[in-house]
């Protein structure tokens, strides 16, 4: 079960690999472009202003956004992996939220039975599933963010679709403020060479042109892996990369429990010569905040920056 959950997480992330390069030195976010994002989702579907009363979310990131912009009381269905904010878990336990299956294994019959007037999907749900729901007459908007800025645009678009654009705008502004504060603090600091390890058997890491890579860069770091997207590497590859800092995703691959990736890195003698291990700079980062394309990526930037440049934040 543990490995199955890990590979489901990887399946969530893989479709989000960028097909275009993120600017090597992003100096600002284009606020005007974000707030005036073209009302079209990532499948080319036009998004109209609405006020849906029965919403189904097909991704944990979507659920987080919906609750954050004030549409949570209208959400009637979520995935097995939706666990934030805490209110989501409470509503599940009370039977106020129905689980429609996993992220890559959504149950179309359950979704339809909830009679939703809006379904907020993600590319990882599978384009065939998304189109099937549309053919059945459901309003479905779907997203595939490749950068932090894309996430901000998607928040605005979800705000338009739910009639909560004002709250969505506030949320984006909060993200921008958090990130810019971090950038001001670390802007003059030397870049720290970083590896982000999601899993260890096999070893999955975040490469360039992913939103996790962008989080690292915004936090004052530089990814040691130059390939694009999320990929597996060998122990030898990790040793050769010799990062100054290793960030590892929390949990056991099932959303909680022991931090098994951290335990592996700290106990495997083959890795003892890596600079990050020798200097005690292996840090556990909440998998949910760094691996989900949600507004909490701004929090991830803060967390990662404190790992990379503790001296700046201590002062």
Give the 3-state DSSP-derived string for the chain, with helices as H, strands as E and coil as C: CHHHHHHHHHHHHHHHCCCCCCCCCCCCCCHHHHHCCCCECCCCCECCCCCCCCEEECCHHHHHHHHHCCCHHHEEEECCCCCCCHHHHHHHHHCCCEECECCCCECHHHHHHCCCCEEEEEHHHCHHHHHHHHHCCCCEEEECCCCHHHHHHHHHHHHHHHCCHHHHHHHHHHHHHHHHHHHHHHCCCCCEEEEEEEEECCEEEECECCHHHHHHHHCCEEECCCCECEEEECHHHHHHHCCCEEEEECCCCCCCCCCHHHHHHHHCHHHCCCHHHHCCCEEEECHHHHHCCCCCHHHHHHHHHHHHCHHHHHC
Q: What is the dihedral of CA 84, 90, 91, 97, to 10 degrees?
A: 60
Look at residue 29 in the predicted model and tell me its pLDDT: 87
Q: Which residue has the tokens 């932090």?
A: 148
pLDDT of residue 258: 87
Q: What percent of the chain has pLDDT over 70?
A: 89
Question: Mean pLDDT lowest for which of 2-16, 19-33, 151-165, 185-199?
Answer: 2-16
Over residues 120-131, the pLDDT tens digits come to 999 899 999 999
Name the average pLDDT for the chain: 90
- Confidence at 209, pLDDT banded by 50, 70, 90: confident
Q: According to the model, what pLDDT value does residue 314 have?
A: 82
289 pLDDT band, cuts 50/70/90, is very high
Residue 25's pLDDT band, with cuts at 50, 70 and 90, is very low
CATH of the structural domain 19-182, one choice from 1.10.1660.10, 3.30.1490.100, 3.20.20.150, 3.40.50.1980: 3.40.50.1980
The pTM is what?
0.89
Q: Compute the average pLDDT of residues 86-110.
A: 95
Stretch(es) of the chain classified as CATH 3.40.50.1980: 19-182, 186-314
| pLDDT band at 200; cut points 50, 70, 90 | very high
Indicate if the pLDDT at residue 114 is higher than 90.
yes
Averaged pLDDT for residues 263-282: 97
| Of residues 243, 213, 241, the one with CA closest to residue 228 | 213
Per-residue pLDDT band for 76 (boundaries 50, 70, 90) equals very high
Q: Read off the pLDDT of each residue in 45-56 and give the average, rounded to a whole number.
A: 96
User: Quick one: average pLDDT of 76-84?
Assistant: 96
Q: How far is residue 295's CA from residue 174's CA, in Å, rounded to a whole number?
A: 9
Mean pLDDT, rounded, for 172-198? 95
From residue 182, alpha-carbon distances to 34, 63, 218, 315 in Å are 20, 26, 8, 14
Whether residue 302 is predicted with pLDDT greater than 60 in this model: the reply is: yes
Least confident stretch, 9-23, 33-47, 264-278, 289-303: 9-23
Domain 186-314 = CATH 3.50.50.60: no
């Amino acid at each position: 079960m543990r490995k199955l959950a890990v590979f489901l997480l990887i399946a969530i992330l893989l479709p989000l690999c960028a097909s275009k390069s993120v600017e090597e030195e992003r100096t600002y976010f284009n606020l005007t472009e974000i707030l005036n994002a073209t009302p079209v989702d990532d499948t080319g579907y036009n998004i109209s202003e609405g006020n849906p009363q029965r919403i189904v979310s097909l991704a944990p990131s979507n659920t987080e956004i919906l609750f954050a912009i004030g549409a949570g009381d209208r959400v009637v269905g979520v995935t097995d992996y939706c666990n934030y904010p805490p209110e989501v878990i409470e509503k599940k336990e009370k039977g106020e939220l129905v689980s429609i299956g996993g992220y890559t294994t959504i149950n179309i019959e359950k979704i339809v039975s909830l009679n939703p007037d809006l379904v907020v999907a993600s590319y990882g749900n599978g384009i065939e599933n998304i189109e099937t729901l549309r053919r059945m007459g459901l309003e479905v908007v779907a997203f595939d963010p490749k950068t932090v800025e894309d996430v901000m645009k998607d928040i605005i678009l979800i705000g338009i679709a739910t009639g909560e654009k004002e709250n969505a705008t506030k949320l984006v502004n909060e993200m921008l403020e958090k990130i810019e504060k971090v950038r001001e603090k670390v802007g003059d600091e030397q870049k720290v060479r970083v590896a982000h390890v999601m899993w260890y058997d096999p070893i999955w890491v975040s490469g360039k042109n992913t939103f996790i890579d962008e989080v690292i860069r915004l936090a004052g770091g530089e990814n040691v892996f130059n390939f694009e997207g999320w990929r597996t590497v060998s122990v030898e590859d990790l040793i050769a990369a010799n990062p100054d800092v290793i960030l590892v995703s929390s949990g056991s691959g099932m959303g909680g429990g022991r931090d098994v990736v951290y335990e592996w890195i700290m106990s495997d003698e083959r890795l003892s010569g890596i600079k990050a291990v020798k200097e005690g700079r292996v840090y556990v980062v909440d998998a949910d905040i760094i691996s989900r394309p949600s507004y909490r990526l701004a929090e991830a930037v803060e967390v990662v920056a404190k790992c990379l440049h503790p001296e700046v934040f201590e002062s």
